Chain A
């Protein structure tokens, strides 16, 4: 079945640093989405991308839908402590399996000790 490879699995950030994470797949998707999960809560949608090549920003977040439709990245600029959490990418295919939606395994952001 379709799978998403999300990397890195985890990373440590220092306040002010820029952060980058990505998802790749061997299959194409119609939509790419990025979610963030804070501890003890459900994931919340950050950005949704609907067109190949689309670049979308939401405050300090920027995400792109890869031109091949097989990948997407999320950048966070000038990170702050509240950016810690788990970030999930998701790809959607109309009529696909698992309710049309495949999730990556997540990127865990933590603060550098």
Chain B
């Protein structure tokens, strides 16, 4: 497809289980972001990938959260030992990401993965 694709769209899991959320960015986009959005709230930055540079992990809330991006394309966000407070919508976005260029703020978002931890 032409847009950012996220899967699964919905995930219900039990407390303590691990979950993986996947993001397929737009082809050719070198920058990839993960955000978390709790119900009715704003966008909480989690992690940012830009090309082959070391990712900016400054937003990951705990060491239970990790993300990787393979081959500069698909990204996976992993949450280990899920807790109820992890319940939220996890949004992925990509952009052309030309470092120092004007387009890096023009993000294209996926529809999100809604995670519910029981």
Contact with A along B1-45 (1 / 0, CB 8 A): 000100000000000000000000000000101000000111101
Closest-by-CB residue of A relative to B6 is: A42
Most buried by A among B31, B91, B104: B104
A42 touches B42 (CB 8 A): no
Interface set, chain B 75-118, CB cutoff 8 A to A? 91, 93, 99-100, 102, 104-112
Name the prevailing secondary structure of the A interface residues.
mixed
- Min CB distance, A47 to chain B, in Å? 10
A50 contacts across to B, CB distance below 8 A: 102
- Interface residues in B, total, Cβ within 8 A: 27
A97 touches B58 (CB 8 A): yes
B111 contacts across to A, CB distance below 8 A: 40-42
Closest-by-CB residue of B relative to A9 is: B42
Closest-by-CB residue of B relative to A90 is: B105
B99 touches A94 (CB 8 A): yes
Known contacts A45-B107, A94-B99, then 7 further A-B pairs from the complex at CB < 8 Å, ordered by chain A residue: A31-B102, A35-B107, A40-B111, A41-B111, A42-B4, A95-B100, A101-B105
17 A-B residue pairs with CB within 8 Å: A41-B111, A41-B112, A42-B4, A42-B93, A48-B106, A50-B102, A92-B104, A94-B100, A95-B100, A97-B58, A99-B48, A99-B56, A99-B104, A101-B45, A101-B105, A103-B43, A106-B43
Interface residues of A (CB under 8 A from B): 30-31, 33, 35, 40-45, 48, 50, 88, 90, 92, 94-95, 97-101, 103-106, 108
